[in-house]
A and B are shown apart, each in its own frame.
Chain A
């Protein structure tokens, strides 16, 4: 390690840094350490040498094993000195040198002597050093002293012993657990920090004993905790107890009074800890939130940045789940946009974006525009993501939000930032049909001046998919062809493919596209020429039969019907020979389980590659999977795939989840199975489904899974026939059947003989919501009015006693499985009535719109008026039936 300070004085100017360590060298200092062996110890000089050694270590210098040992032995000599200052430095360097076990023995006796010294400072430090360097065997020898130290009347000694106990609990839990009586006593200490350390240790000793923790909390919350730090700990333990009690029944939450009283503590640290604990309670109600939000709001206008940051960060989290609870703070939050601290400003902006209502969007966007220019990219990405979700929430505002995104797209920024913007625009185009043309033009303009090849190619691909479907595809051609003229080879090749897609899909443009493609034949790059040649020759199948035309398109632009990873492996295994590579030899079964990855609910999938025609990319992936199985090919188009439902408890021998695939006249259950036992290989895995409680369903296909090795998930399928287009419901009980073979863990080989076995799974239900697709509309009122009023069906329902209005609203939304529109799924706190707008597509491609009006009266009785319009009046009735039965 060169000394940075040495370099400094090379420039030789008067202002140079003076440092007492100027020109220090490891070798020289090690020489100086010989002074430790001097019979007449010079305490001051020795201290200085130790400081120099510590300085070297601190600057990142390392000592070799030999050097460290030498220094360590020399240092042990210094215990002879009576100088307290030197002794402190000795303690310090022993900890830094972290001697090995055989070396520790040398200092043990000296340290044990110090542990029983009359000087408190010696006792405290010797305990800390000894516990740091000791191993288990020595611990039993000193245990007696440590127990005494815990209840020592000197708080420094007690704290040293307690903190050492916390560290030792990791390595020698059985010993430390024997100290709990002493620790218990120390919790009652009058010294603030002793109490804190004792509480921390006591909790760690008992953390696996729920009852003991609960008792501890009960006794301490009655008040006797003095230190703010200890109080913070107590708040954490209390919320742990609350979480584990989890009585979801309405009524008073235990210990909530305690948390609330902490909001009036005099230390800000405690107030904040309590406020945060309240906001993080599971299923926190608005009434519980209010006092916490109020103190956080006060913090927002504090003069201390740390306090403002803490408050706005917590409110930001609250805004994700309870946006309306935070709206009271919006005025304070807006003033934070101009905060000196950009972290605070960014958090304030994103919170505002989450809590804002439709009318405030425009004003907010104006403020953000000024703000964006002076923050770092990482903050900008956060803002872009917040704007994206805002736009999805208020589709009517897409124009101003899309404009904002396109404006920032033109400004300076790094790759990650630009990618976040482009992804956002793509998602908006996908989810808000009205925004499509506008968004595509913005993307076109962006690639005119885009320095990132990756983004250019992704956008070109996306244009090729979407552009031909717009009302005027020809206007994109210029942008695309410009890329062929101006860009690098990778982008040029992508542009050629995009041009070809336009040519293939838009008949009227075909001749003009061909002119452009012919020019590409003279490109200097092989790939570009090859692509142009391929497209020209295949697409030129002039005015021949329509069927071949379709074949060509399928060949050029259709998706490969094999998983890419499988194709990759097969290609790698292919050895060059006379025999050509046969794509049909690639296995179609999906090996890994990317499909069943649980998507966080409400999380918007990102990425340019995601197809646009489907509301979620998973459906597309499922569709590919299902259509690759010949038995299911006759079922027609996949209507909907549910999210995976777990059929086993967590951490059981076999983990099974099911995905329900709904077709017009069929239902397919996809069982995703994982074998979690390394010693077993499962073969011929099937699920035996008992459909006796689902009369309208009859089993038609059973597709077993040939083998299920340890920890590599596989799928088995069961298909049922049901009356066409009818939303039949029913309950299915499942039994996993398989042949189990023992596997030798050493060799990984399975035995030849297997045993038949079965495993009970949980039941599975097909409900009405499975037949409705969540599809939003951008303008509910227009869509509503364009529907035939004759299809309207109105009725009123009593929903009985509900915990809150919000709970009733979400229950109905879940029952129908429809998409809430215009953010109406959020119920303002304390409101007595609420309207909710839903849209969806019923099986058979029937569009359905629903208006719900809720009212709540005194004893929490909720009444609901349900108005349905749809393309087919029969479906309107069906929706009412679902609600009536639900």
Chain B
């Protein structure tokens, strides 16, 4: 236990257990199959629980997983079984709140996928190679947002692209009807 607290993976799954964004930091799951199997067992063990108001926790296969749900998104942070559970929970909370800030509280799978670049940058800013980089949600979101906001007039451009996306979606729906 002399080692630095370390995070084994961070997962963002949807309400069917499918990947939205995931990031693995260790070799505990060397293959894609092993990763998917882990995600599947995490999902099946947790999806019936109510982790909406407070983060929940589960331990299995020598891993501790803390998790929290909102809308159709499931947030998970995994650590080893010797890890301080509260550190994992702090990382989870940082991730969860940062995503909330970045998506302006429209936290659901669709918005997350539309802003996948923000989610991926967010993961990149929280943990680096298993070591916790930052846990304060506003700082994480700030670091991610500088890119999209202070860029060349991205604000207006973003609204245009959002409008385009909405239009595209409406078109898709009307075509399918």
The stretch that binds B, out of A102-110, A265-273, A535-543, A730-738, is: A265-273
- Cβ-based interface call for A21 (8 A): yes
Q: From residue A404, how far is it (CB to closest CB) to chain B in Å? A: 25
* Chain A residue at smallest Cβ distance from B51: A305
CB-defined contacts of B129 to chain A, threshold 8 Å: 132, 163, 166-167
The stretch that binds B, out of A54-62, A247-255, A563-571, A662-670, is: A54-62
On whether the beta carbons of A232 and B84 are closer than 8 Å, the reply is: yes
- Cβ-based interface call for B151 (8 A): yes
CB-defined contacts of B19 to chain A, threshold 8 Å: 58-60
Chain B, 1-60, CB within 8 A of any chain A CB:
1-5, 18-19, 21-22, 32, 35-36, 49-50, 54-60
The CA of A159 and the CA of B139, in the complex, are separated in Å by 13
Interface string of A310-325 (1 = CB under 8 A from B): 1001000000000000
On whether the beta carbons of A305 and B56 are closer than 8 Å, the reply is: yes
The stretch that binds B, out of A236-244, A392-400, A595-603, is: A236-244
- Cβ-based interface call for B70 (8 A): no
The CA of A204 and the CA of B3, in the complex, are separated in Å by 8
The CA of A59 and the CA of B22, in the complex, are separated in Å by 8
- Cβ-based interface call for A442 (8 A): no
On whether the beta carbons of A229 and B2 are closer than 8 Å, the reply is: no
- Cβ-based interface call for A335 (8 A): no
On whether the beta carbons of B161 and A306 are closer than 8 Å, the reply is: no
CB-defined contacts of B134 to chain A, threshold 8 Å: 159, 193
Chain A, 206-236, CB within 8 A of any chain B CB:
207, 229, 232-233, 236
CB-defined contacts of B88 to chain A, threshold 8 Å: 306
On whether the beta carbons of A306 and B147 are closer than 8 Å, the reply is: no
| Other-chain contact of A163, B56, B59, B128, B152 (Cβ < 8 Å) | B128
CB-defined contacts of B58 to chain A, threshold 8 Å: 341, 343
Q: From residue A682, how far is it (CB to closest CB) to chain B in Å? A: 38
On whether the beta carbons of B36 and A310 are closer than 8 Å, the reply is: no
- Cβ-based interface call for B163 (8 A): no
| Other-chain contact of A200, B54, B131, B161 (Cβ < 8 Å) | B131
* Chain B residue at smallest Cβ distance from A58: B21
- Cβ-based interface call for A868 (8 A): no
Check A236/B2 contact, CB under 8 A, given A44-B157, A166-B131. Answer: yes
CB-defined contacts of A160 to chain B, threshold 8 Å: 128
Size category of the binding interface on chain A = 35 or more
On whether the beta carbons of A272 and B86 are closer than 8 Å, the reply is: yes
Check A378/B60 contact, CB under 8 A, given A121-B146, A237-B2, A305-B54. Answer: yes
The stretch that binds B, out of A83-91, A739-747, A844-852, A853-861, is: A83-91
- Cβ-based interface call for A483 (8 A): no
- Cβ-based interface call for B167 (8 A): no
On whether the beta carbons of A166 and B4 are closer than 8 Å, the reply is: yes
Interface string of A349-360 (1 = CB under 8 A from B): 000000000000
Chain A, 416-475, CB within 8 A of any chain B CB:
none
The CA of A196 and the CA of B91, in the complex, are separated in Å by 14
- Cβ-based interface call for B138 (8 A): no
Chain A, 620-666, CB within 8 A of any chain B CB:
none
Q: From residue A1, how far is it (CB to closest CB) to chain B in Å? A: 8
On whether the beta carbons of B54 and A304 are closer than 8 Å, the reply is: yes
Check A128/B57 contact, CB under 8 A, given A20-B114, A43-B152, A163-B133. Answer: no
* Chain B residue at smallest Cβ distance from A378: B60
On whether the beta carbons of A341 and B49 are closer than 8 Å, the reply is: yes
CB-defined contacts of B86 to chain A, threshold 8 Å: 268-269, 272-273, 306-307, 310
- Cβ-based interface call for B132 (8 A): yes
On whether the beta carbons of B133 and A159 are closer than 8 Å, the reply is: yes
Q: From residue B31, how far is it (CB to closest CB) to chain A in Å? A: 10
On whether the beta carbons of A83 and B121 are closer than 8 Å, the reply is: no
- Cβ-based interface call for A842 (8 A): no
On whether the beta carbons of B5 and A232 are closer than 8 Å, the reply is: yes
On whether the beta carbons of A163 and B131 are closer than 8 Å, the reply is: yes
On whether the beta carbons of A304 and B151 are closer than 8 Å, the reply is: no
CB-defined contacts of B57 to chain A, threshold 8 Å: 305-306, 309, 341, 343
Q: From residue B47, how far is it (CB to closest CB) to chain A in Å? A: 14
CB-defined contacts of B60 to chain A, threshold 8 Å: 378
The CA of A47 and the CA of B115, in the complex, are separated in Å by 11
CB-defined contacts of A306 to chain B, threshold 8 Å: 54-57, 66, 85-86, 88-89
| Other-chain contact of A232, B87, B150, B161 (Cβ < 8 Å) | B87
Chain B, 110-159, CB within 8 A of any chain A CB:
110, 113-114, 116-117, 120-121, 124, 128-129, 131-135, 143, 146-148, 150-152, 154, 157
On whether the beta carbons of A84 and B87 are closer than 8 Å, the reply is: no
Q: From residue A231, how far is it (CB to closest CB) to chain B in Å? A: 11
The CA of A276 and the CA of B161, in the complex, are separated in Å by 51
Residues of B in contact (CB 8 Å), total 61
Check A55/B49 contact, CB under 8 A, given A197-B131, A305-B57. Answer: no
Check A305/B165 contact, CB under 8 A, given A60-B36, A193-B133. Answer: no
The CA of A59 and the CA of B124, in the complex, are separated in Å by 17
- Cβ-based interface call for A51 (8 A): yes
On whether the beta carbons of B85 and A51 are closer than 8 Å, the reply is: no
The CA of A786 and the CA of B20, in the complex, are separated in Å by 72
On whether the beta carbons of B113 and A89 are closer than 8 Å, the reply is: no
* Chain A residue at smallest Cβ distance from B172: A18
Q: From residue B134, how far is it (CB to closest CB) to chain A in Å? A: 6
| Other-chain contact of B151, A43, A50, A167, A273 (Cβ < 8 Å) | A43
On whether the beta carbons of A121 and B147 are closer than 8 Å, the reply is: yes
Check A233/B150 contact, CB under 8 A, given A51-B120, A193-B134, A341-B49. Answer: no
On whether the beta carbons of B85 and A85 are closer than 8 Å, the reply is: no
- Cβ-based interface call for A756 (8 A): no
- Cβ-based interface call for A693 (8 A): no
On whether the beta carbons of B146 and A84 are closer than 8 Å, the reply is: yes
Interface string of A18-29 (1 = CB under 8 A from B): 111110000000
On whether the beta carbons of A340 and B114 are closer than 8 Å, the reply is: no
- Cβ-based interface call for A830 (8 A): no
* Chain B residue at smallest Cβ distance from A204: B4
Check A88/B147 contact, CB under 8 A, given A240-B2, A310-B86. Answer: yes
Q: From residue A342, how far is it (CB to closest CB) to chain B in Å? A: 9
CB-defined contacts of A236 to chain B, threshold 8 Å: 1-3
| Other-chain contact of A58, B22, B161, B177 (Cβ < 8 Å) | B22
CB-defined contacts of B154 to chain A, threshold 8 Å: 44, 85
Check A19/B133 contact, CB under 8 A, given A12-B176, A340-B50, A341-B49. Answer: no
The CA of A313 and the CA of B64, in the complex, are separated in Å by 12
On whether the beta carbons of B18 and A21 are closer than 8 Å, the reply is: no
Binding site for B on A (CB under 8 A): 4-5, 9, 12, 14, 16-22, 43-44, 47, 50-51, 54-55, 58-60, 62, 82-89, 92, 95, 121, 128, 132, 156, 159-160, 163-164, 166-167, 193, 196-197, 200, 203-204, 207, 229, 232-233, 236-237, 239-240, 268-269, 272-273, 276, 280, 303-307, 309-310, 313, 340-341, 343, 378
- A–B complex contacts, Cβ < 8 Å, 15 sampled: A14-B173, A18-B172, A19-B110, A43-B152, A82-B152, A85-B147, A229-B135, A272-B85, A273-B86, A305-B57, A306-B57, A306-B86, A306-B88, A340-B49, A343-B58
